[in-house]
Amino acid sequence: MLRKLTLTAVLMGASALGAQAQDLRIALQSDADVLDPDQSRTFVGRIVYTALCDKLVDITPELELIGQLATDWSWNDDQTQLTMQLREGVTFHDGTPFNAEAVAYNIERSQTLEESRRKSEVASITGTEVLGEYEIRLDLEQPDATLLAQLADRAGMMISPTAAREAGADFGSNPVCSGPFAFDNRVAQDRIVLKKYADYWNADEINFETVTYLPIPDNTVRLANLQSGDVDIVDRVSATDLEQAKADPKVQIESAVSLGYQGITINVGNGDKAKNPLGEDSKIRRALSLAIDREALNQVVFNGAFAAGNQPFPPNSPWFDPDHPIPERDVEAAKALLAEAGYPDGITIEIQAPNSTEPQQVMQVVQAMAAEAGITIEIVSKEFATMLQDQTAGDYTASQVGWSGRVDPDGNIHQFLTTGGGINDSGYSNAQVDEYLNAARVTNDTAERKELYNKARDILMEDSPLVYLYHPTWIWGLAEGVEGFTPYADGMIRLEGVSLSE
Amino acid sequence: MLAFIGRRILVAIPTIVLISIFVFSLQQLLPGDPILAMAGEERDPETIAFLREKYGFNDPLPVQYVKWVTGVVQGDLGISLRSNQPVSELLLQKLPVTIQLAIMAMIFAIAIGVPMGIVSAVKKGTVLDYAANLIALSGLSIPNFWLGIMLILLVSVKWGLLPASGYVPPGEDLWLSIKTMLMPAFVLGTALAATLMRHTRSAMLGVLKSDYVRTARAKGLKERRVILKHAFRNALVPIVTLMALLFGELIAGAVLTEQIFTIPGFGKLVVDAVFNRDYAVVQGIVLCTAVGFIIMNLVADAAYFALNPRLRKQ
């Protein structure tokens, strides 16, 4: 039907005028959770917010911070006060004006709402001072290098104080923000519909009347929807479908190496289960790392579409430490390390992995590679929620697990590898690493931070509590008429400038 | 008849209570912490503690059960841990979707299964019979998910005839709604059609051998009338029971079918809820399904009365 209409349109010469579609349909891998930036926790939710809720700060495709609702900002000398100039003439979808008072309210809500999951992200802010209608100062206890990146994500999303006061914790059922699109309706597991906000400050860049997000979990079905013309954009095309998608003239492919990583987290100090050769001897962990051909792993499982990795940051990141390039596979060196550790005849280790296709394939390839170096891997498949629980409780020896990634480097490393870190399931603890990683948090000097991360990296390479394997690549499929799409490493779908000619 | 139905309802009550206890305990045996599953990637301890308290996970299990049952009796099935929506609201939203799918699948199943069963019984031992059996066997053996994906690739991607997946409420656009539901209903219907065909065939074979059929033929009635009026009507009794029992299979099949075709129904709700450890939703769905199953059996019992005059006299 749609195709017939398109054909008719072409025949009538209407396409010469570049007729604009009214509705943009985007298929996502899963359904978003509650649509309240303060309570939200899913990656998919963040994709929806990109159209719904503007943030104080945004990022460029090169991961530099730029203003969105804040137009400019400056630090005081000891970097404990951040003064922000705000965009004038912005209103929320309910007409409430956006100003410094609204920013102060939003930060307070992120810090104090009982259900808030942003508390740790804005914990460094001790107070706010409204300096004028469009000027606000954030006071910090100590410098916080991660703060601006946090304000470029959910913690920096501004919601209407009027609507939030009225709805309380129930805000998510009818969210009111200031982004290019306003909330229209939602049917759980079926669709989220947003409609264009006419008074958006950057409305000229928005080319759709409505945008509809459809959760379609099955990778094949999601791609089929794009190929049949039922949707215009799909996220997370699986690497194994890439060839098929590229061969279809009706499909365009865009991609960006993500900020996240996948690896093997090893229990080195999280309870009694850490007391085993793998957990106690870094030589065995390094032997495991040396036994893996990361490039081959990427080729075999992901058709080479992902990026091999050995650090929390992908090789194209400015934070990647070039002193530790992706290691070549070295089976002899791995065997030598094993012998040095007292296992010249090989060793058997147990690694748990989620019971879904990709992690299983990854682990089977790793298993085969490690076997050649004398490391027998027993893969224990677990459903993800179960695996996570065992991992947190320390009831595991090693886990194939990853992280979706954050714009600021701190988000990819600090909470995993500092003593007592929030997600330090490995139980790793090294005073020197703590010192470097903590210091890197409290300086805004990029060169100095990089130096600190590199120093920590030297120790972490030696200790190897986490064996990094690869960095997933975000792959988007676009219908042939979609123009102006920019891939971002954070995996978001930004709709400014995107258009669809039928 | 009323007394009979009344007795059946009385028996159903303890069954439902037992099911509720069973479902509740089974959930607790599931590994994986629901709060951890909903705390997000950061797993902030403060958030976890707050959520545990908020959703009553700190209470002893019997207390949690009693709280839940008290709510259920008052029509409150609890709140979904994931979407914050009341479970009853979610169920009311999803139920019509699955009912539409089930009805359309049943229509496919009856339209294919029953005539095939009759033909294969009447033409027993002929090519037609073998062909029907072959089709039935394929219907039973081809997995739903494979057939579903193949249909999507062929009908939607290659031919562009039907929408690949999703759901449109009938109130919004009836024709589009039916079109969207055609493929999933067909996929779900094929397996049922096979079962229906086999049972119709054996019921018909049994009836065709009986004395009254021979009498009817001896009276010189037309074969068409013998089969449809005398034989088929009596063969219907076991087939109706089967259809009520197939209701369970339909719901089970809907779980897979809805997952493939991304239909926001009952089945998809329960699968997502299990993976997200959304206890309240799982409990609500299983309870509702159990009640639905019991009602379907009651309906089947009542249908016997309508179809079988002998039962009415008892």
Window from A57-71, A364-378, B102-116, B275-289 with minimum mean pLDDT: B275-289
Distance between CA atoms of residues A421 and A132, nearest Å: 38
Tell if the CB–CB gap between B32 and A389 is shorter than 8 Å: yes
Residues in B touching A229 (Cβ below 8 Å): 160
pLDDT of residue A8: 43
Q: Which CATH architecture has domain A57-161?
A: Alpha-Beta Complex (3.90)
Average pLDDT over chain B reads 86
Q: Domain boundaries in chain B?
A: 20-73, 95-313
Distance between CA atoms of residues A231 and A237, nearest Å: 13
Tell if the CB–CB gap between A422 and B38 is shorter than 8 Å: no
pLDDT of residue A21: 60
| Mean pLDDT value across residues B42-59 | 83
Look at residue A199 and tell me whether its pLDDT is greater than 80.
yes
Whether the CA torsion A460, A461, A467, A471 is positive or negative: it is: positive
Residue bearing the bigger pLDDT, A159 or A502? A159
| Mean pLDDT value across residues A339-367 | 95
Look at residue A502 and tell me whether its pLDDT is greater than 90.
no
- Between positions 6 and 35 of B, the ones with CB within 8 A of A are 31-34
| Mean pLDDT value across residues A298-317 | 95
Window from A11-25, A338-352, A439-453, B288-302 with minimum mean pLDDT: A11-25
Residue bearing the bigger pLDDT, B230 or A293? A293
Q: A162: buried, middle or exposed (CB in 10 Å: 19+, 13-18, 0-12)?
A: middle
pLDDT of residue B312: 66
- The set of residues, in sequence order, having a beta carbon less than 8 Å from that of A249 and lying 6+ positions away, is A480
pLDDT of residue A413: 96
Residues in B touching A415 (Cβ below 8 Å): 42
For B157, the closest of A215, A228, A384 (CB atoms) is A228
With vertex at residue B289, the alpha carbon angle to CA B284 and CA B291, rounded to the nearest 5 degrees, is: 95
Look at residue B22 and tell me whether its pLDDT is greater than 80.
yes
CATH code reported for the domain at A261-471: 3.10.105.10
For B269, the closest of A189, A224, A390 (CB atoms) is A189
* Beta-carbon contacts below 8 Å between A and B: 132
According to DSSP, residue A227 is labeled H
Task: Measure B75 CA to nearest chain A CA, in Å.
Answer: 21
For B83, the closest of A3, A34, A388 (CB atoms) is A34
Residue-wise pLDDT tens digits, B141-178: 888 889 999 999 999 999 999 999 999 999 989 999 99
Residue-wise pLDDT tens digits, B172-184: 899 999 999 999 9
Tell if the CB–CB gap between A385 and B166 is shorter than 8 Å: no
Look at residue A15 and tell me whether its pLDDT is greater than 60.
no
Residue-wise pLDDT tens digits, B105-123: 999 999 999 999 999 999 9
The two three-digit tokens of residue A266, written as one number: 């090893």
- CATH of range B95-313; options 3.10.310.10, 2.40.100.10, 1.10.3720.10, 1.20.1250.20: 1.10.3720.10
Q: Which CATH architecture has domain A7-29+180-258+474-500?
A: 3-Layer(aba) Sandwich (3.40)
pLDDT of residue A2: 46
Task: Measure B184 CA to nearest chain A CA, in Å.
Answer: 13
Q: String of b and e for A343-352 (b: at least 16 CB within 10 Å)? A: beeebebebb
| Mean pLDDT value across residues B288-306 | 80
pLDDT of residue A492: 96
Tell if the CB–CB gap between A230 and B165 is shorter than 8 Å: yes
Residue bearing the bigger pLDDT, A307 or B285? A307
The SS3 call for residue A170 is helix
Look at residue B60 and tell me whether its pLDDT is greater than 50.
yes
- Between positions 273 and 312 of B, the ones with CB within 8 A of A are 275-277
The two three-digit tokens of residue A170, written as one number: 């129930």
Pair B120, B129: CB distance under 8 Å: yes
Residue-wise pLDDT tens digits, B250-259: 877 888 899 8
Share of chain A above pLDDT 90, in %: 87
Look at residue A16 and tell me whether its pLDDT is greater than 60.
no
What residue in A sits closest to B91 (Cα-Cα)? Answer: A188
Look at residue A254 and tell me whether its pLDDT is greater than 90.
yes
Residue bearing the bigger pLDDT, B297 or A151? A151
Look at residue B102 and tell me whether its pLDDT is greater than 80.
yes
Task: Measure B252 CA to nearest chain A CA, in Å.
Answer: 19
Residue-wise pLDDT tens digits, A83-131: 999 999 999 999 999 999 999 999 999 999 988 889 889 999 999 999 9
Interface probe for B, chosen from A29, A117, A222, A251 (most Cβ of B below 10 Å), is: A117
Window from A63-77, A298-312, A433-447, B197-211 with minimum mean pLDDT: B197-211
Average pLDDT over chain A reads 93
Banded pLDDT at B73 (limits 50, 70, 90): confident
Banded pLDDT at A20 (limits 50, 70, 90): low
Look at residue B37 and tell me whether its pLDDT is greater than 80.
no
DSSP B187-249: HHHHHHHHHHHHHHHHHHHHHHTSHHHHHHHHTT--HHHIIIIIIIHHHHHHHHHHHHHHHHH
Residue-wise pLDDT tens digits, A464-475: 999 999 999 999
Pair A343, A264: CB distance under 8 Å: no
Tell if the CB–CB gap between A190 and B44 is shorter than 8 Å: no
Look at residue A285 and tell me whether its pLDDT is greater than 80.
yes
Helices marked H in A174-319: 219-227, 242-247, 277-280, 282-291, 294-302
The SS3 call for residue A333 is helix
Window from A108-117, A160-169, B285-294 with minimum mean pLDDT: B285-294
Distance between CA atoms of residues A261 and A454, nearest Å: 18
Pair A490, A149: CB distance under 8 Å: no
Tell if the CB–CB gap between A229 and B160 is shorter than 8 Å: yes
Residue bearing the bigger pLDDT, A502 or A175? A175
Residue bearing the bigger pLDDT, B31 or A216? A216
pLDDT of residue A422: 86
Look at residue B44 and tell me whether its pLDDT is greater than 50.
yes
Q: Domain boundaries in chain A?
A: 7-29+180-258+474-500, 57-161, 261-471
Look at residue A7 and tell me whether its pLDDT is greater than 60.
no
| Rg (alpha carbons) of chain B, rounded to whole number | 24
Residues in A touching B84 (Cβ below 8 Å): 34, 170, 172-173
Q: How far is CA A179 from CA A54, A69, A233, B53, B294, in A?
A: 5, 10, 20, 34, 49
Banded pLDDT at B80 (limits 50, 70, 90): confident
Tell me the range of A112-116, A202-206, B235-239 where mean pLDDT is highest: A202-206
Interface probe for B, chosen from A6, A228, A392 (most Cβ of B below 10 Å), is: A228
| Mean pLDDT value across residues A259-284 | 96
